[in-house]
Chain A
Amino acid sequence: MARYLLRSLVRMMVAIWGISVMAFVLTYVIGDPLTVLLPWDTPREAREEYRRQMGLDQPLLVQYLRFAGGAVRGDFGNSFYAKKPATSLVLERMPATLILTFSGLILALAISIPAGVISAYKRYTWIDNVVTILAIAGQAMPIFWFGLMLIILFAVNLRLLPASGYGTWQNLLLPAVCLSVFLAPITMRLMRSGMLDVLHADYVRTARSKGLAEATVLLRHAIRNALIPVVAVIGLQFGQLLGGAIVTETVFAWPGVASLVVNAIRNTDYPIVQAAVMLLAGLITVINLITDAIIYTLDPRISRQ
């Protein structure tokens, strides 16, 4: 297991390095921080002087090494506007993003796994049709619009839940539902197809023929194995789920990393964008390692591939 996880770790490290190059290229090569930092009418000499002081006149490689060196220590410099370390500004917002992401994840699984199992178990009945139609509709749904509709329905017309805000479970409910629509259709379809495969497998027939209760057959034998692709896809899709959380946050004014980043992007506040990009990449790496570990426990054969 250690070797298997080590291999995923190395792969992830390469990915993180790639992302750091991307973040660097984006801001230092394509964009010029000086255009943001200095007033547009700054004289040329003052501009060049400032460039030297910032070290922006040095070769790109030197600049990259300095950027990467800072990144390793979690130092991305100060926000151009807030004049505070970008890392701490992003970390302050991280809990809200994590709460939203994991609530969305848990809600999506709580809906999609039972739905997928029932749908496969009762294949071609009305309930399978309803679940499948909902999944297809959910997959096509632009979740930011779905969020707006949730606000109009539950906050404006029914006055049941707040349209935005942060702190209580009522605030969390609409954003979490909105985000779950992003993931649930994929996991439901995978769960359904996984169950269809598994229900015809020999070991399920054996389990049935030795007289196990149907519930035991499903829980101990079928679902456990049908879950493997679902877990794998959660690992693969976690980055996209974070992307979904970013979208959701902007709709519900959720005070997470996303609203910070979107504002930073509007203000071209590069350090914050970089800190957010790298910290989220680190988070995705950790999640990927965890899902790899879970997959290994569910199916130890995987490490031999």
Chain B
Amino acid sequence: MNTEAMPLVKPRSFRLRHLLSRLWNLRTGVAGGLVVVVVCVMAVLAPVLAPYDPYDGEILNRLRPPAWMERGSAEFLLGTDLLGRDYLSRIMHGARISLTVAALAVALSCTLGTLLGLLAGYFGHSVDWIISAGLDVMMAFPFVLLALAVIAVVGPSLPNMIAVLGITGWPLYTRVVRAEVQRLKVLEFVLAARTLGASDVRIIVRHLFPNLLNALVVIVSLEVARMIILEAFLSFLGLGVQPPTPSWGGMLGEARELMFDRWWMAAFPGMAIFVTTLAINLFGDGLRDWFSPYSKNY
């Protein structure tokens, strides 16, 4: 091939085609991202979109089946719950709780975990030893049991649950950030910065942190899915979001006694969780492939 004839700047149409073909290769990730957007819109606009008030129901309308089943009516597309509240409206409002809890918990754990990982990776020695020991403890121990035990002590409530999930969720970030920083800090650009007299803080903030963003975005997306599932499980056990606040896990918990005759009561909230976490996972996998195309097969 005659390399001299290659233009230095790729023509616009070529770049666009290249972008589209990359997106096409990551189509499952794109699809996941679109579903995530839909769920977010549903959560934000729930008060406008939901056909009924999720807290208010007519007791006469209780336990209606979904519209397409016998005794169902188009009034309540997904039926009603024990108190006659519209199931669809409660699921739509449930998205608000799930996403809010997951987002806040992840924001907290990501900040904490990244900070600890930066400290451990950059300073090494005793700082690293202490943080790594904490990491060992957290990784060895079932997260669910830990979260349950803390909730038991502090009592179940929305802020408590966010705090527990956020504070106990740091290990994954720390592990990845620590390894990345250990790899990066011996590279030339860091040495160059130090030679020019940059302080530790400046090196960490301006030179190391930007290089961690790709990895962090991927972990964050996967952790949001994990937090949604954890929140749902805690609420399912009655240790998370308290009634009458609509949450997917809480609805599953309420459906537990009723599902033997009414499978849909357990099926719909669970589907909402599953579709959301699946979409987030696909989106996260897509992000990882976007940032590091060569790891695609692994």
Contact of A277 among B133, B149, B266, B298 (CB under 8 A): B149
Q: How many residues of B contact A (CB 8 A)?
A: 46
Q: How many residues of A contact B (CB 8 A)?
A: 52
Contact (A149, B149) CB under 8 Å given A11-B136, A156-B260, A246-B144: no
Please tell me if A140 contacts chain B, counting CB pairs below 8 Å: yes
Contact of B142 among A27, A242, A266 (CB under 8 A): A242
Please tell me if A63 contacts chain B, counting CB pairs below 8 Å: no
List residues of chain A with CB within 8 A of the CB of B137.
14-15, 18-19, 22
Q: Indicate if the CB atoms of B140 and A285 lie closer than 8 Å.
A: yes
Q: Indicate if the CB atoms of B145 and A280 lie closer than 8 Å.
A: yes
Q: Indicate if the CB atoms of B236 and A288 lie closer than 8 Å.
A: no
List residues of chain B with CB within 8 A of the CB of A261.
145, 148
Q: Indicate if the CB atoms of A246 and B145 lie closer than 8 Å.
A: yes
Give A236 to B143 CA distance when docked, in angstroms: 13
Contact of B152 among A19, A136, A193, A265 (CB under 8 A): A265
List residues of chain A with CB within 8 A of the CB of B294.
none
Which of B203-253 touch A at CB < 8 Å? 225, 229, 232-233, 236-237, 239, 252
Q: Indicate if the CB atoms of B297 and A193 lie closer than 8 Å.
A: yes
Q: Indicate if the CB atoms of B142 and A239 lie closer than 8 Å.
A: yes
Please tell me if A127 contacts chain B, counting CB pairs below 8 Å: no
Q: Indicate if the CB atoms of A243 and B144 lie closer than 8 Å.
A: yes
Task: Tell me whether chain B's interface is mostly helix, strand or loop, or mixed.
Answer: helix
Q: Indicate if the CB atoms of B152 and A273 lie closer than 8 Å.
A: yes
Q: Indicate if the CB atoms of B142 and A280 lie closer than 8 Å.
A: yes
Q: Indicate if the CB atoms of A281 and B259 lie closer than 8 Å.
A: no
Give A134 to B262 CA distance when docked, in angstroms: 27
Q: Indicate if the CB atoms of B237 and A152 lie closer than 8 Å.
A: no
| 0/1 string, A110-154, CB within 8 A of B gives 1 | 000000000000010000000000001101111011001101100
CB distance from B275 to the nearest CB of A (A): 9
Q: Indicate if the CB atoms of A142 and B143 lie closer than 8 Å.
A: no
Binds A, one of B15-23, B67-75, B276-284: B276-284
Contact (A152, B154) CB under 8 Å given A136-B281, A136-B282, A273-B149: no
Please tell me if A262 contacts chain B, counting CB pairs below 8 Å: yes
CB distance from B80 to the nearest CB of A (A): 19
Q: Which residue of B lies closest to A265 (CB)?
A: B152
Q: Which residue of A lies closest to B230 (CB)?
A: A142
Q: Indicate if the CB atoms of B298 and A140 lie closer than 8 Å.
A: no
List residues of chain A with CB within 8 A of the CB of B146.
22
Q: Indicate if the CB atoms of A18 and B278 lie closer than 8 Å.
A: no
Please tell me if A284 contacts chain B, counting CB pairs below 8 Å: yes
Please tell me if A9 contacts chain B, counting CB pairs below 8 Å: no
List residues of chain A with CB within 8 A of the CB of B273.
142, 145
Of B151, B152, B277, chain A has the most CB atoms within 10 Å of the CB of B152
Please tell me if B158 contacts chain A, counting CB pairs below 8 Å: no
List residues of chain B with CB within 8 A of the CB of A204.
none
Query: 19 A-B residue contacts at CB 8 Å?
Result: A18-B136, A22-B146, A23-B149, A140-B278, A145-B252, A145-B266, A145-B270, A148-B252, A148-B255, A152-B263, A157-B263, A242-B145, A243-B145, A247-B144, A261-B148, A266-B152, A273-B149, A276-B145, A288-B140
4 closest A-B pairs by beta carbon, nearest first, are: A243-B142, A145-B270, A18-B137, A265-B152
